Chains A and B, each alone.
Chain A
Amino acid sequence: MLKKLLVANRGEIAVRIIRAAQDLGIATVAVYSAADAESLHVQLADEAVNIGPPAAKKSYLNVEAILKAASDTGCDSVHPGYGFLAENAAFSDAVTGAGLVFVGPSGDAIRMMGDKVSARSAAAAAGVPVVPGSAGRVEGLKAGHEVLTATGFPVMIKAAAGGGGRGIRIANSLAEFEQAFPQAEAEALAAFGDGGLYMEKVIGKARHIEVQVLADGSDAIHCYERECSLQRRRQKVWEEAPSRALSDRLREDLCASAVALAKAVKYSGAGTVEYLYDDEADRFYFIEMNTRIQVEHPVTEAITGIDLVAEMLRIAGGEKLRIRQGDVSVKGHAIEVRLNAEDPAKEFAPFPGQVAELRIPGGPGVRFDSMLYQGYQVPPFYDSLLAKLIVHAETREAAIVRLIRALNELKIGGLKTTKPLFLALAADPAVRAGDVHTRWLEGWLIENAAALAG
Chain B
Amino acid sequence: MAQILSPLPGTFYRSASPDQPPYKADGDAVSAGDVIGLIEVMKSFHEVRAETAGTNIRFIADNEDPIMAGAPIADLD
Q: B-contacting residues of A (Cβ < 8 Å)?
A: 35, 53-55, 57, 341-342, 349-350, 352, 380-384
Contacts and interface: CB of A to CB of B under 8 A. Distances in A.
A281 B60 CA distance: 59
Contacts of A380: 8-11, 41-42
Contact of B11 (A54, A349, A350): A54
A317 to B, nearest CB: 33
B66 A53 contact: yes
B7 to A, nearest CB: 12
Interface residues of B, number: 11
A384 B9 contact: no
Contacts of A383: 42-43
Contacts of A384: 42-43
Nearest to A53: B66
A195 B43 CA distance: 31
A188 B41 CA distance: 32
Given A54-B11, A352-B9, A381 B66 contact: yes
B44 interface: yes
B77 interface: no
Contact of B41 (A54, A55, A57, A352): A352
B42 A55 contact: no
A350 B42 CA distance: 6
Nearest to A342: B42
Contacts of B40: 381
Task: Provide the main secondary structure of the chain A interface.
Answer: loop
B21 to A, nearest CB: 20
B64 A55 contact: yes
B65 to A, nearest CB: 9
11 contacts: A54-B11, A54-B66, A55-B64, A342-B42, A350-B41, A350-B43, A352-B42, A380-B42, A381-B11, A381-B42, A382-B43
Q: Lowest 8 A-B CB distances belong to which pairs? A: A350-B42, A380-B9, A384-B42, A380-B10, A54-B66, A350-B41, A380-B41, A383-B43
Given A35-B66, A381-B66, A55 B11 contact: yes
Nearest to A349: B44
Q: Which of B8, B40, B42, B66 has the most CB of A within 10 A?
A: B42
Nearest to B44: A350
Q: Which of A35, A350, A383 has the most CB of B within 10 A?
A: A350
Contact of B10 (A53, A341, A349, A381): A381
Interface string B32-50: 0000000011111000000
A420 B41 CA distance: 21
B44 A55 contact: no
Contacts of A349: 44
Given A350-B42, A350-B43, A350-B44, 10 more contacts: A54-B66, A57-B64, A341-B42, A349-B44, A352-B9, A352-B10, A380-B11, A381-B11, A381-B40, A382-B43
